[in-house]
Amino acid sequence: MRLLSYILILSINPLAGCVPYPDQQTPHLSGRVVDVVTQEPISAALVTYDEYPKHSATTSTDGSFVLPAVKKWQLLAPFLDHINYATLVVTAPNFSPYKERIGTWNGREETKIISLKAAQPSGEAGLPQKRGSPLP
């Protein structure tokens, strides 16, 4: 019985102070997506994280979006500060994708203006298109 008590104490001791806790994996993110050259808003752009593709937002006609924080239940000591990282990805038709690694901690909110570059037109197999008349 005494051995069982020691085993129980040793197995519970490392968990002392740890509780199930909703750990924030990404910031609550809001902002706008615009064209880098014209600064015009880009509507229907998809804003998401590589690590959490099911959590996404689509920009409205004024380019604005709100991407709620992703939280994951963890067994943690809530008083310990730590940073979680995720890769923000923004895609839109006719624009090059945007990627940025973002760190977050619990309660963090962020506002961003994301500028996208127009994609370069390409021909077959990714080669630049040739201008002029076709061969006879």
Q: How far apart are CA 136 and CA 132, in angstroms?
A: 12
Could you read off the pLDDT of 88-127 as tens digits, one per residue?
999 999 999 999 998 887 677 889 999 999 998 765 444 4
The answer to whether the pTM exceeds 0.85 is no
The answer to whether 70 touches 25, Cβ cutoff 8 Å, is: yes
Q: In DSSP terms, which residues pair with 85 in a beta bridge?
A: 103
The answer to whether 86 touches 52, Cβ cutoff 8 Å, is: yes
The end-to-end CA distance of the chain, in Å, is 96
Pairing state between β 28-35 and 109-116: parallel
